[in-house]
């Protein structure tokens, strides 16, 4: 039997957590909030630390943040003597997992932070370009960056690796400002494909790391039911719209971002599709279209996260309801409604309730065809509920 090496042998600083913090970790979560720390005196920002309960019992090894409300992110239940070695192993495991679950694409999330036991690191692959995001002090350390980049290069052999920087996150983590850019190679644009649809990718432009890869399996699922006239609301660069165009007689995509629509238009051309792109505020457009009596056979609603925190639920839920209500009014009999929410705080049951309320208000009803979530390359870790954030209901108007 393998014996755990004693934590004291690693020489790491120790952070003590309260009873509540310890019980959270025993339940399998990987975060401890600052309010549940008992002592972290003199622990440097971003340090690898041993975690102990109030009585000093070793609970595992974590990455420490001196500024975030999430002070501790566990990286292993065991003692860690060789962080670079552990990071390399974790990256290999993450790649092997994708080899098992990802199909029909050369674009997918390679590393999803906590869900891959690499808290604070996100890596997406777009054909031959990798896009990396660093979200914590620990992952920003130069030695960590070097290890991550060299392991990714060796295993995936990308033409380039780009880093996408979110200035707000660096500020929250009290990290010096840094700009987005290529950290390896020279290629910053490419074409990737998913489910037979092709997309342009610019590593240094666009939202998130480029595309909304978490919807990949939902695009394919929705395409199965789509027909007739379709409306893709909050279309961004055309993810749903281009999939709908495989089966629909006409497709309109709506977004408030002109740069997103410009890429959407290029994507349509790349796939030889004619799609109408409308730059508008979705709320105004849905109201105007519904008032004008427009009708569709398929409507997709994929808004940005309205509830970034629990406090926002009060305004977020009515917003979701309004969108769904207007879409319901415009669907023909037998039409398909696709309702998404990427807010973790909007639980599956809350979104269903909003949908039910909207149905009652317009005297219509729906049959849920599929109750879906995020693509499998964005794994949902059972004991870390925050890793499961995307909801996608595909329904059919029953009257």
Catalytic residues: 342
**Cβ(25)–Cβ(19) below 8 Å:** no
DSSP assignment of 59-80, as one string? EEEEEE-SSSSEEEEEEESS--
Query: Which residue's CB is nearer to ligand SAH, number 24 or number 216?
Result: 216
Per-residue binder mask for ligand SAH (CB under 6 A), 205-244, x = binder: -------x--x------------------xxxx-xx----
Q: DSSP 3-state helix, strand, coil percentages of the chain (rounded to 5)?
A: 35, 30, 35
Smallest distance, ligand SAH to C-beta of residue 124, A: 13
Under the binding rule (CB under 6 A), the answer on residue 257 touching ligand SAH is yes
249 binds ligand SAH (CB under 6 A): no
- Nearer to ligand SAH (CB atom), residue 25 or residue 316: 316
Residue closer to ligand SAH by CB (options 72, 254) is 254
C-alpha distances in angstroms, 58 versus 5, 25, 138?
11, 12, 21
Q: Where are the alpha helices (DSSP H) in the chain?
A: 19-26, 83-101, 137-140, 142-156, 167-172, 216-225, 239-244, 258-270, 282-291, 313-330, 348-362
Other Cβ atoms within 10 Å of 273 Cβ, number:
16
Does 253 help bind ligand SAH (rule: CB under 6 A)? no
DSSP structure class, residue 332: E
> Smallest distance, Å, CB 341 to ligand SAH?
11
Measured from each CB, the residue nearest to ligand SAH is 239
Residue 246 engages ligand SAH in binding (rule: CB under 6 A):
no
Nearer residue to ligand SAH within complex by CB, 302 or 377: 302
Q: Does 281 bind ligand SAH (CB under 6 A)?
A: yes
Q: Which of 14, 18, 246, 256 binds ligand SAH (CB under 6 A)?
A: 256
Nearest to 71 by CA among 120, 11, 115, 27: 120
From residue 286, how far is each of 134, 231, 398 by CA, in Å? Answer: 37, 10, 21
Q: Minimum distance from CB of 63 to ligand SAH (Å)? A: 29
List interacting residues with ligand SAH (CB under 6 A).
212, 215, 234-237, 239-240, 255-257, 260, 281-283, 302-304
């Amino acid at each position: 039997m393998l014996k755990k090496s004693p934590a004291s042998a690693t020489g790491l600083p120790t952070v003590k957590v309260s009873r509540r913090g310890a019980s959270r970790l025993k339940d399998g979560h990987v975060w401890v909030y600052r309010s549940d720390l008992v002592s972290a005196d003199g622990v440097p920002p971003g340090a690898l630390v041993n975690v102990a309960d109030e009585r000093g019992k070793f609970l595992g090894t974590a990455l420490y943040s001196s500024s975030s409300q999430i002070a501790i992110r566990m990286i292993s239940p065991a003692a860690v003597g060789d962080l670079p070695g552990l990071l390399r192993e974790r990256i290999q495991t993450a790649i092997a997992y994708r080899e098992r679950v990802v199909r029909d694409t050369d674009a997918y999330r390679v590393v999803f932070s906590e869900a891959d036991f690499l808290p604070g690191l996100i890596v997406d692959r777009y054909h031959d370009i990798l896009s990396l995001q660093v979200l914590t002090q620990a992952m920003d350390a130069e030695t960590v960056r070097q290890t991550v980049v060299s392991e990714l290069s060796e295993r995936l052999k990308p033409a380039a690796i780009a880093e996408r920087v979110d200035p707000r996150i660096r500020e929250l983590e009290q990290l010096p400002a840094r700009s987005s850019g290529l950290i390896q190679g020279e290629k910053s644009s490419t074409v990737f494909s998913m489910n037979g649809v092709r997309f342009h990718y610019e590593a240094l432009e666009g939202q998130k790391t480029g595309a909304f890869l978490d919807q990949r399996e939902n695009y394919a699922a929705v395409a199965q039911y789509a027909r007739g006239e379709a409306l893709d609301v909050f279309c961004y660069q055309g993810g749903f719209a281009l999939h709908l165009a495989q089966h629909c007689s006409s497709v309109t995509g709506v977004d408030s971002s002109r740069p997103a629509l410009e890429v959407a238009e290029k994507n349509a051309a790349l796939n030889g599709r004619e799609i109408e792109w409308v730059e508008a505020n979705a709320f105004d457009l849905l109201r105007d279209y519904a008032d004008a009596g427009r009708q569709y056979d398929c409507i997709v609603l994929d808004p940005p996260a309205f509830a970034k925190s629990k406090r926002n639920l009060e305004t977020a839920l009515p917003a979701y309801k309004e969108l769904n209500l207007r879409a319901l009014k415009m669907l023909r009999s037998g039409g398909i409604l696709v309702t998404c929410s990427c807010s973790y705080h909007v639980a599956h049951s809350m979104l269903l309730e909003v949908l039910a309320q909207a149905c009652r208000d317009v005297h219509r009803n729906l049959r849920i065809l599929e109750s879906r979530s995020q693509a499998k390359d964005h794994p949902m870790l059972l004991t870390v509920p925050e890793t499961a954030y995307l909801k996608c209901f595909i329904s059919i108007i029953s009257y």
